[in-house]
Amino acid sequence: MPIKIHYQQQEVELPEGSTAETLAQKFQKTGPNEALAAKVNGTLVDLTTPLSSGDEVKLIDFADPEGEELYWHSSAHILAQAVLRLWPEAKPTIGPPIENGFYYDFANLHISDEDFKKIEEEMGKIIKENYRTEREVFPNKEAAKKAFADNPYKIELIEGFEDQVLTAYRQGEFYDLCRGPHIPKLGKVKAWKVLKTSGAYWRGDPSREMLTRIYAITYPDKKLLKEYITRVEEAKKRDHKVLGPKLDLFSYCEEAPGMPFIHPKGTLVWSALLAYWRECHEREGYVEIQTPQIMDRTLWERSGHWENYRQNMYSTTIEEREFAVKPMNCPGGMLFYKKAVHSYREFPLRIAEIGHVHRHEASGALSGLMRVRSFFQDDAHIYMEPHQIEEEILRVLALAEEIYTTFGLTYHLELSTRPEKDTIGTDEQWEHATKALQNALERSGKVYKINEGDGAFYGPKIDFHIRDALGRTWQCGTIQVDMSLPQRFELEYVDSNGERKEPVMIHRALYGSIERFFGILIEHFAGKFPLWMSPRQVRLVPVADRHLPYAQKVKEALREAGIHTEIDDTHESVGKKIRLAQIEQVNYMLIVGDQEVENQTVSVRTRDNVVHGAVSFSSFLDTILEEKKTRALTSLFGEKR
């Protein structure tokens, strides 16, 4: 008897005993990037899964985030199979997908970059053999442990699983513990590359053994791999860890690991970021505070950090009292709120802080400005009545839109809802907060993704994932409803009936870590900052010493107008001076010689090596002041980034 399933908003009839793969074949979804797996009634499954009448079925392609993830996880098995063919004594441990590709960790394996080619060749042989992936279910833990008796790492994983079905996948001679699902045939992989190798502790624990990690990436199309490699090469050119020191923006010292030194040029960029931030926040009705960096242990016990975050905090003892350096600004903000009695008439009360925080990150996790131990956060804590949440979230969303688009950054939004367990607050509070966030997102017209159960224990949240010039995403801004800290600190306000109530509070950050945002902008602009935030806005290039007095006069006029200006008065040739200015990403080079002195003009050249020729100084000044005022992303003289 035929079965009837629902696919793409239509009812489809299939023969009895059909699988998701039958459906894919019926609709000719057989390309390398198509029908990698299926969602049946909302559950992600292999294509070999039998279908029943009434099932809702979605075929998962590579373009789907879930499809990309399972494609790369399947590919991790190909990598492991190739390694075991080449080094049979190696012990495979885990091999998850990551943002770009996947990795697999091995014990008892030592390789170098020179081994990548033979690993790729072996992967090619396995892909050509085009094995079907076969899922096997273990009846119990003992059966699973017996199957992997020669691998202590798999045994440890099995023993740690609770109340879940244990499964493994087979492809040819390779057999691995895995929950799946997997691509149906290995031949769907059309392009592959081993990227790098590194050391990694088993289960991320420095006290455990060091493993060999191999990173790789695969695609269903060679063109996609080529595009990825091009992006990687471009990212290397934009690497803020290279450009930052090269442009004299920041550096590190061994005496302060993970704590950046921001140089004078970097501080000019930093100051521009904060000036813009303050301009926006003052207009939006925020007040700014500063709270102490070191506070008594009792505060951190009350906030819950001492119990849950102690390992990441720096502490010290002063006069027999134990203090901690703040890892976040929130508890200090709570103390400030409690300094006064608050009325509903003040709400929404928007209190912001550029707070300097310290977190003890593992040395192996430190990475330029992206992961540091000392950084500033642009936090805000907004207090309100329950009925004000939705409107306030809309205001924050609009402010975030304004700020991110000013930098030419696009973004997507993710709404994370209540975790299944270990949360605080009533069902009614969670429902009200989540609905308010969702309604605000709907009213904003922004596309968003829902992450079921991924909220914080204290409330739901919205995260901003910004996209840079290379299409990479970074999680920066966040809006979090907090039902914990107002409760822990017994925050109150007086409502319209004269009764004392607990306020609703949201945490909100837009830059996030300012150091990290700075690093993202360095890479986004490839060091070519727009004029308004550039540390090298104008450089005067006198042709000879006799032109220095005029150059000095122009410099003073520019500096009085608020333009960062330098004179290259070295005895190098004009050509060398221009090349140096271009390397240092100076926005405008003004060459001054006899004609410029005589006509009171400047000869304008932009850093993209476009010569705009002689213009009157007043005309040049008017143009760049307009460019700075409007925070234009490109030169008003026609420069293209």
Q: pLDDT for 470-504, tens place per residue? A: 778 888 899 998 888 898 899 999 999 999 999 99
Give Cα 139 to chain centroid, integer Å: 40
- Contact, 410 vs 476, CB < 8 A? no
Q: Residue 505 has which token pair?
A: 């509070």
pLDDT at 315: 93
Task: Indicate the class that CATH gives domain 72-235.
Answer: alpha beta
d(CA 636, CA 556): 22
- Contact, 352 vs 289, CB < 8 A? yes
Residue 597 has pLDDT above 80, yes or no: yes
pLDDT at 640: 42
Structure-model confidence comparison of residues 28 and 638, the more confident one = 28
Q: Which position among 176, 379, 482, 568 bears the catalytic label?
A: 379
Residue with tokens 């969670």: 430
Tell me 328's DSSP state. Answer: S
Tell me 132's DSSP state. Answer: B
Q: Which position among 238, 359, 524, 528 bears the catalytic label?
A: 359
pLDDT at 511: 95
Q: Residue 272 has which token pair?
A: 């521009």
pLDDT at 567: 97
Contacts of 519 by beta carbon, 8 Å cutoff, 6+ apart? 240, 244, 368, 369, 370
Instruction: Name the E strands within 230-320.
Output: 250-251, 261-262, 287-288, 294-296, 315-318
Q: How far apart are the first and last CA of the chain?
A: 63
Q: Which position among 263, 507, 508, 516 bears the catalytic label?
A: 507
- Lowest model confidence (mean pLDDT) among 273-282, 469-478, 583-592: 469-478
Would you identify the CATH topology of the domain 3-61? Ubiquitin-like (UB roll) (3.10.20)
**Residue 427 pLDDT level (bands cut at 50, 70, 90):** confident
pLDDT at 426: 83
Residue with tokens 């009434």: 54
d(CA 492, CA 250): 43
**Cα atoms in the Cβ-side hemisphere of radius 13 Å centred on 506:** 34
Task: Mark whether 377 is an active-site residue.
Answer: yes
Residue with tokens 């802080």: 353
Residue 554 has pLDDT above 90, yes or no: yes
Residue 353 has pLDDT above 70, yes or no: yes
Mean pLDDT, the chain, as a whole number? Answer: 93
pLDDT at 452: 87
| Average pLDDT rounded to a whole number, residues 588-612 | 94
Residue 641 has pLDDT above 60, yes or no: no
Task: Mark whether 461 is an active-site residue.
Answer: yes
Phi and psi torsions of 369, nearest 5°: -90, -10
For 470, counting Cβ atoms within 10 Å of its Cβ (0-12 exposed, 13-18 middle, 19+ buried), the class is middle
With a pLDDT cut of 90, the percent of the chain lying above it is 83
- Lowest model confidence (mean pLDDT) among 281-285, 320-324, 444-448, 491-495: 444-448
Residue 138 has pLDDT above 60, yes or no: yes
**Residue 638 pLDDT level (bands cut at 50, 70, 90):** low
What's the Cα-to-Cα distance from 249 to each of 276, 369, 515, rounded to whole Å? 19, 11, 11
pLDDT at 467: 87
In one-letter notation, the amino acid at residue 136 is E
pLDDT at 483: 81
| Average pLDDT rounded to a whole number, residues 190-205 | 93
- CATH number for the domain running over 270-291+327-524: 3.30.930.10
Over the stretch 376-405, which tens digit does the pLDDT of each residue have? 999 999 999 999 999 999 999 999 999 999
d(CA 65, CA 309): 32
pLDDT at 537: 97
With a pLDDT cut of 70, the percent of the chain lying above it is 99
For CATH 3.30.980.10, the residue range(s) in the chain are 72-235
Task: Mark whether 310 is an active-site residue.
Answer: no
Task: Mark whether 280 is an active-site residue.
Answer: no
Task: Mark whether 164 is an active-site residue.
Answer: no
Q: Which position among 58, 350, 381, 539 bears the catalytic label?
A: 381
Q: Tell me the residue length of the chain.
A: 641
Tell me 367's DSSP state. Answer: B
d(CA 50, CA 22): 9
What's the Cα-to-Cα distance from 219 to each of 33, 223, 472, rounded to whole Å? 8, 9, 17
Structure-model confidence comparison of residues 566 and 640, the more confident one = 566
Q: Which position among 81, 171, 377, 585 bears the catalytic label?
A: 377
Helices (H), 352-490: 389-406, 427-444, 485-488
Contacts of 86 by beta carbon, 8 Å cutoff, 6+ apart? 115, 118, 119, 122
For CATH 3.10.20.30, the residue range(s) in the chain are 3-61
| Average pLDDT rounded to a whole number, residues 284-302 | 95
Structure-model confidence comparison of residues 160 and 169, the more confident one = 169
d(CA 316, CA 323): 5
| Average pLDDT rounded to a whole number, residues 302-316 | 88
d(CA 497, CA 56): 52
For CATH 3.30.930.10, the residue range(s) in the chain are 270-291+327-524
Q: Which position among 330, 350, 373, 432 bears the catalytic label?
A: 330
- CATH number for the domain running over 531-629: 3.40.50.800
pLDDT at 204: 84
Task: Mark whether 360 is an active-site residue.
Answer: no
What is the chain's percent helix, strand, coil content, to nearest 5? Answer: 40, 30, 35
Task: Mark whether 305 is an active-site residue.
Answer: no
Q: Which position among 58, 461, 539, 547 bears the catalytic label?
A: 461
Q: What is the pTM of this model?
A: 0.81
Contacts of 355 by beta carbon, 8 Å cutoff, 6+ apart? 290, 291, 326, 328, 329, 332, 376, 377, 379
d(CA 219, CA 154): 28
| Average pLDDT rounded to a whole number, residues 543-547 | 95
| Average pLDDT rounded to a whole number, residues 155-172 | 91
pLDDT at 348: 97
